[in-house]
């Protein structure tokens, strides 16, 4: 499960801005929060930004990028697993600093949404208040 340790204060200070006070967060190039929705940037050539209502998320799966499960992650698009990955060409090459995150919008969702997160503690700090009590968080991939 998710490690409940607090996000370092210097990280929050570094990324604090007027949007954070309003509930909007825009600190990483792959995701942001606007009006209670998680916006995944660089989603596809047709849909540049995928919006997911945070209160509707069924499950969140995450894994450090140093783990490279064969045929499960990709720089952009879909692999042999049912995940559409937003564009991050360096996703397969980082070893220490970033995380791969998958979102399952509902329990019957057959295509997961995958994206990169640089600071997983900060991500969960800003996302958790919007999630429903039934949302499950896993420190592993579902397949």
Q: Pick 18 or 81 by higher pLDDT.
A: 81
As a whole number, mean pLDDT of residues 46-72 equals: 89
Grade residue 25 by pLDDT with cuts at 50, 70 and 90: confident
- What is the residue-averaged pLDDT of the chain? 82
Q: How many residues does the chain have?
A: 143
Extract the tokens encoding 50.
């995928």
Letter string b/e over residues 48-74, b meaning 16 or more CB atoms within 10 A of that residue's CB: eebeeebebbbbbbbbebeeeeeebbb
User: What is the reported pLDDT for 105?
Assistant: 96
User: What is the reported pLDDT for 1?
Assistant: 38
- At the top level of CATH, the class of 9-138 is mainly beta
| CA dist., res. 69 & res. 71, Å (int) | 6
User: What is the reported pLDDT for 20?
Assistant: 40
Grade residue 3 by pLDDT with cuts at 50, 70 and 90: very low
User: What is the reported pLDDT for 53?
Assistant: 96
């Amino acid at each position: 499960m998710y490690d409940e340790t607090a996000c370092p204060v210097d990280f929050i200070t570094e990324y604090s801005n007027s949007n954070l006070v309003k509930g909007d967060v825009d600190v990483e190039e792959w995701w942001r929060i606007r009006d209670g929705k998680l916006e995944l940037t660089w989603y596809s050539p047709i849909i540049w930004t995928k919006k997911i209502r945070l209160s509707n998320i069924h499950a969140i799966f995450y894994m450090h990028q140093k783990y490279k499960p064969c045929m499960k992650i990709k720089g952009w698009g879909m692999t042999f697993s049912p995940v559409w990955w937003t564009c991050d060409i360096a996703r397969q090459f980082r070893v220490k600093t970033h995380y791969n995150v998958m979102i399952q919008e509902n329990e019957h969702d057959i295509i997961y949404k995958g994206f990169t997160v640089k600071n997983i503690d900060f991500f969960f700090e800003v996302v958790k208040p919007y999630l429903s009590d039934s949302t499950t968080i896993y420190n592993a991939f579902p397949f």
